[in-house]
Amino acid sequence: MQTRLDKILESTSVGFFQTDNQSSITYWNNAAENMIGYNREYVLGKNLWDVFTEAKNSDFYYHFQDAAIQRINVEFTEYFWPVQKWFQVNAYPIADGLIVHFRDITANKLAEEKLLEKIEQLKEISFLNSHYIRKPVASLLGLTNLINEDLVTAQEFRDLAIQIKACSLELDAIIRKVNNTVNEDDHITESHNDGMEEFSITELVKELIKKQQGIHATHKVILENENDLTCYGNKQSIATAVKQLMKNAVKFSPDSTPVIISLKIIDQNLVIAVQDFGIGINKHLINKIFLSFTRKEIARELGTGLTKVSEIARKHNGSVWVESKPGKGSVFSIRFPFSNIAEFKKSGKTDFSLYKTPGVEIEYEEDQKYLSVDWKGFQSFHSIKTGCYKLLDCINKYNCQLILNDNSNVMGTWGDAVDWVANDYFPVIEKAGVRYIAWIYSPSMFSRLSADLTIESTNGKIVTKTFDNKADGLEWLLQEHSQALD
Query: What three-state secondary structure class fits 223?
Result: strand
Mean pLDDT over 374-390 rounds to 92
CA nearest to 321, candidates 303, 296, 298, 294: 294
Whether 272 contacts 322, CB under 8 Å = no
**Fold (CATH) for 359-485:** Transcription Regulator spoIIAA (3.30.750)
Dihedral sign, CA of 228, 231, 234, 239? Answer: negative
**Domain 2-104 listed as CATH 3.30.450.20:** yes
Pairing type for strands 85-94 and 197-200 reads: unpaired
pLDDT of residue 191: 47
Interhelix angle 283-292/305-315, rounded to 10 degrees, is: 50
CB atoms within 10 A of CB 471: 9
- 114-118, 332-336, 367-371 — which is least confidently predicted? 114-118
Q: How many helices (H) and strands (E) does the chain have?
A: 19, 17
Q: Where are the domains of the chain?
A: 2-104, 108-191, 197-345, 359-485
Higher pLDDT, 46 or 300: 46
Long-range contacts of 46-49 (CB under 8 A, 24+ apart): 47/22, 47/23, 48/19, 48/23, 48/24, 49/23
What is the model's pLDDT at position 192? 47
Of residues 452 and 183, more confidence is placed in 452
Q: Are 119 and 37 in contact (CB under 8 A)?
A: no
Task: Give domain 197-345's CATH architecture.
Answer: 2-Layer Sandwich (3.30)
| Residue 214 identity | G
Please give the Cα distance from 215 to 75 (Å, whole number): 51
> Quick check: 121 pLDDT over 90?
no
Q: One-letter amino acid identity for 115?
A: L
Average pLDDT, the chain: 86
Going through 149-201 in order, the beta strands assigned E by DSSP cover 197-200
Closest CA to 321 of 427, 154, 449: 449
Pairwise CA distance, residues 1 & 481, whole Å: 69
Most confident by average pLDDT, 36-50, 279-293, 350-364: 36-50
For 152-186, the pLDDT digits (tens) are 666 676 676 777 777 777 766 766 666 665 555 54
Rounded CA separation 138/421 (Å): 48
pTM of the model: 0.81
CB 326, CB 447: distance < 8 Å? no
What integer pLDDT is reported at residue 291 of this predicted model? Answer: 81
Q: What is the DSSP letter of 352?
A: S
- 327 vs 217 pLDDT, higher one: 327
Q: Would you state the pLDDT for residue 336?
A: 95
pLDDT of residue 166: 77
Contact 431, 396 (CB under 8 A): no
Distances (CA, A) of 441 to 174, 373, 473: 42, 13, 10
Mean pLDDT confidence for 316-321: 93
Residues 446-457 have a mean pLDDT of 95
Query: Fold match between 2-104 and 359-485?
Result: no
Helix, strand, coil percent content, the chain, rounded in steps of 5 = 50, 25, 25
CB-CB contact of 231 with 336 (8 Å): yes
Alpha-carbon span 175 to 155, nearest angstrom: 31
Q: Mean per-residue pLDDT for 186-198?
A: 60
The more confidently predicted of residues 402 and 190 is 402
Find the mean pLDDT for residues 206-222.
84
Of all residues in the chain, the percent with pLDDT exceeding 90 is 56
CA distances from 344 to 198, 276, 317, 355, 420 (A): 11, 37, 18, 12, 34
Residue 299 has pLDDT above 70, yes or no: no
Q: Where are the beta strands (DSSP E) in 344-419?
A: 359-365, 370-378, 402-411
* CA contacts within 13 A on the Cβ side of 77: 6
- Start-to-end CA distance of the chain, whole Å, equals 76
Task: Report pLDDT for 115.
Answer: 74
pLDDT, average across residues 21-25: 96
pLDDT of 74 higher than 70? yes
Interior CA angle at 302 toward 133 and 211, to 5°?
100
Query: What b/e string do you get for 442-452 counting C-beta neighbours within 10 Å, with b at 16 or more?
Result: bebbbbbbbbb
Residues 6+ apart with CB under 8 A from 323: 330, 331, 333, 444, 445
Contact 263, 275 (CB under 8 A): no
- CA–CA separation, 309 and 16 (whole Å): 35
CA distance 382 to 399: 25
Distance CA 423, CA 429 (A): 11
Torsion of CA 193, 194, 198, 202, to 10 degrees: -100
Q: Which residues of 81-118 are buried (b: 16+ CB within 10 A; e: fewer)?
A: bbbbbbbbbbbbbeeebbbbbbbbebeebeeeebeebe
pLDDT interval class at 15 (50, 70, 90)? very high
| 227 has pLDDT over 60 | yes
What percent of the chain stands above pLDDT 70? Answer: 82
Reduced to 3 states (helix: H, G, I; strand: E, B; else coil), residue 152 is: coil
pLDDT at residue number 441: 97
Of 3-12, 227-236, 325-334, 429-438, the least confident: 3-12
With H, G, I as helix, E, B as strand and everything else as coil, classify residue 76: strand
Residue 165 DSSP SS3: helix
